[in-house]
Structure 1
Amino acid sequence: MSPAVRGVGVDTVELGAFAASLGEPGTRFATAFSATERRQCRERAEARGVGRGAATARADGPDARTSSSSDRSDPLARHLAARWAVKEAVVKAWSSALYGSPPPIAPDLLVWSEIETVCDAWGRPAIRLGGEVARQVAATVGEGARWHVSLSHDGDAAVAFVVLEGQGSG
């Protein structure tokens, strides 16, 4: 069998609301991003002028707090928002590939940090899966599943578009 498009997903994130949620104590976003995602976003934000302290406070783990995270021009929030859009778009693409079948992972048991956006040395994004998400994608779509991703942020929104390619006719 030749590879075929099995699913597509798209998601948009409103930056102001995301930045405000990012700064809330106990937010689900505190654990939604892998260490690699937080580091890459922090590095990109620092390259665009966010100070190390502010970027680190918002990107590094469950105790992240900030009082200025609602700033829509915050580069760190912009990069994290785009990665959140990728996570949502991955789930949508995978779900469309499984149309008519129950989800292999209950939504409340999904570990969001197992869906990562990683960038190469030139900033080009790719999707890397880990843990139970990787196991279930392999079981339901095939070991050779490939993900194609495009993400952007402009104005007050971040957007991601994901295509899932796998064996079969979809």
Structure 2
Amino acid sequence: MTVAVRGVGVDTVDIGAFAASLAEPGTRFTTAFSPTERRQCRERAEARGAVHDAQPAGVEVSGPRSSSSSSGRSTHLVRHLAARWAAKEAVVKAWSAALYGSAPPISPDLLVWSEIETVCDAWGRPAVRLGGEAARQVAATVGEGVRWHVSLSHDGDAALAFVVLEGPMAG
């Protein structure tokens, strides 16, 4: 079996606009991140000096707390969440590139964003982990045993993710 790059996706997120979206009541970002993503973002933010109780409104990181999303104390958390949102978008773009010429297997309005996770190992290196219907549909459309390569960055007012989908080529 030949394995090759099947798709590439990149996405950038304006951190200020993302923070404003997080603060909106009923925001879709309330359910967009898995518990693991929220925990890892909180831990990374805390390691960079953010106070323990800082979090954007609408995104529960580890239980109910209140804080303003515009607070400087929550900046680190928002930056990490923004990079993970960019990764989710980049995963969808890489997968879509692999399916060029075919209809999307999941309607965009039915995609469960928390099924596309960016998780880090003990050394902070990111990886993509799929679950639920997203995982089933990637396996059905691209093949079993796909590999995702992801790089995250945030600088100034922007967060960025770059994703490469590697998988089997049709024989």
TM (norm. structure 1) is: 0.92
Quick one: structure 1 residues 88 and 23, their matched pair in 2 at CA, closer, same or farther if it must change by over 3 Å? same
Provide Cα deviations, 1:74-133, integer angstroms capped at 9, x if missing partner: 000000000000000000000000001000000000000000000000000000000000
- Structure 1 residue 65: deviation in Å? 6.1
Deviations 1:148-167 (A, max 9, x none): 00010001100000000010
Q: CA deviation at 1:48?
A: 1.3
Tell me, yes or no, if structure 1 residue 107 matches structure 2 residue 99: no
Is contact 1:18–1:81 with CA below 8 Å preserved after alignment? yes
In structure 2, how many angstroms separate the alpha carbons of the residues matched to 1:19 and 1:36?
20
Whether 2:116 is the aligned partner of 1:142: answer no
| Alignment check: 8 A CA contact 1:21 1:27 kept | yes
Aligned to 2:51: 51
Letter in 2 for 1:25: P
Are the counterparts in 2 of residues 116 and 127 from structure 1 also a CA contact under 8 Å?
Answer: yes
Matches within 5 A, 1:65-144: 66-69=67-70, 74-144=75-145
Contact 2:56 2:74 survives alignment (8 Å): no
Between the aligned partners of 1:71 and 1:111, the Cα distance in structure 2 is: 30
Identity across the alignment (%): 79
CA shift, 1:54, in A, is 1.5
TM-score of the superposition, structure 2-length normalised?
Answer: 0.92
SS of corresponding position for 2:70? coil
Unaligned runs of 5+ in 2: none
Computed over aligned residues only, the root mean square deviation of the Cα atoms, in angstroms, reads: 2.3
The one-character-per-residue Cα deviations of 1:37-58 (angstroms, maximum 9, x if unpaired) are: 0000000111112222223856
1:68 offset after TM fit, Å? 3.4
Residues 1:30 and 2:30 aligned together: yes
The match for 1:12 is: 12
Residues matched between the structures, number? 170
Per-residue deviation, 1:169: 6.2
C-alpha separation in 2, matches of 1:72 and 1:88: 26
Distance (Å, rounded) in 1 between the aligned partners of 2:101 and 2:71: 39
CA–CA distance in 2 between the matches of 1:44 and 1:89? 21
CA 1:64–1:107 in 2, change beyond 3 Å: closer, same or farther?
A: farther
- Letter of the aligned partner of 2:18 in structure 1? F
Alpha-carbon distance in structure 2 between the residues aligned to 1:152 and 1:29: 20
C-alpha distance in 1 between matches for 2:164 and 2:87: 11
C-alpha spacing 1:57/1:7, structure 2 compared with 1 (3 Å): same
